[in-house]
Amino acid sequence: MKNFLKYREIWLLTGIVVLIGLISTRFPGFADPANLRQVFNDTSILMILALGQMVVILTRSIDLSMASNLCFTGMVVAMLNAAHPAIPIPVLIVIALLVGLVLGVINGFLVWRLNIPSIVVTLGTLTIYRGATFVVSGGAWVNADQMSPDFINFQRAAFLGLPVLSWISILVIALFFLVMTRTQIGRSIYAIGVNPTASVYAGIDVGRTKFIVFCISGMIGGLAGYLWISRYVIASVEVANGYELNIIAACVIGGISIAGGIGSVGGAVLGALFLGIISNALPVINISPFWQMAISGSAIILAVVLNARGERRQGRIILRKAEAA
């Protein structure tokens, strides 16, 4: 399966290169390294979110509340910053991670202890977290002029030629790669996604593992909350409304199977980059936003078709075995 996955990622990478090539014919500056760096930076938040979503999807669950978590946590840190500009940014980031974690713990607890399907739990918390944003802010916005310069400039500072935001996403990608390939929890996530029954017999606590993945997606949602607000310098109840679908789309395009157990860090990153390139490039070559939607929609369907074909081949082997047994 490793080979097959690689195969899939190589295809996605090829698709991205072809896409960049096509765009370059209309807009020659697009393939410029400086511009590509810019695209990467623009896509950083989506990549981080897609990774958080990926670990959830791998366990046959889904987290629909990530964008609402982002909105709520973003509002909390923006209000904190407005009220106490002296709080250093690293502390604010830790607070964002913790607030996000709390929201993730709520999701995870409901999924684990009350055994409610994650799609139902997070559909509920999607609304609740956004509603909570309204409650804490009283419906007011936090504008750029209320935020401290540090708050806004932290992620824009250049470090070794890249903005801090890009470095944060690189760090998160590396961390996820290590967790998914080199740790017990990463292995357990894949195992319960592929075969929950066998995992139970092997002594893996399926409920607890699901709880942990929701904690991870919650923390990622919180981190993305700070990054988003400081990037677009406005915090409101409407922030990232509907963005959960972009996150899931990035995962699906990246070859992460909604049925669980199949997917990789590379896939999620490439899936997010694909969407990032489309949304960055098409406006500059004068293609209407509606075409953008059509193109990303087609990419999703194409990705699902390719994945389904791959999985069906496996399914047949299982079926034959089951019949023989």
Length of the chain: 325
Task: State the CB neighbour count (10 A cutoff) for residue 129.
Answer: 23
Q: E strand or H helix at 162, and its extent?
A: strand 162-163
Token pair listed for 84: 């106490």
Asked whether position 225 contacts another protein by CB under 8 A, the answer is: no
Q: Tell me which residues in 79-138 interact with another protein (CB under 8 A).
A: none
Q: For another protein, give the closer residue by CB, 74 or 254.
A: 254
Site string for another protein, 265-304 (x = CB under 8 A): ----------------------------------------
Distance CA 213, CA 37 (A): 30
Task: State the CB neighbour count (10 A cutoff) for residue 240.
Answer: 24
Asked whether position 189 contacts another protein by CB under 8 A, the answer is: no
Asked whether position 197 contacts another protein by CB under 8 A, the answer is: yes
Among 16, 109, 205, 292, the residue binding another protein under the rule CB under 8 A is: 205
Asked whether position 182 contacts another protein by CB under 8 A, the answer is: yes
Are 246 and 256 in contact by the 8 Å Cβ rule? The answer is no
Stretch that binds another protein, among 94-102, 137-145, 179-187, 216-224 (CB under 8 A): 179-187
**In whole angstroms, how far apart are CA 45 and each of 164, 181, 325?**
12, 22, 48
Asked whether position 312 contacts another protein by CB under 8 A, the answer is: no
Among 1, 135, 293, 305, the residue binding another protein under the rule CB under 8 A is: 1
Residue ranges binding another protein (CB under 8 A): 1-2, 182-188, 190-191, 194-195, 197-205, 261-262, 314, 317-318, 320-325
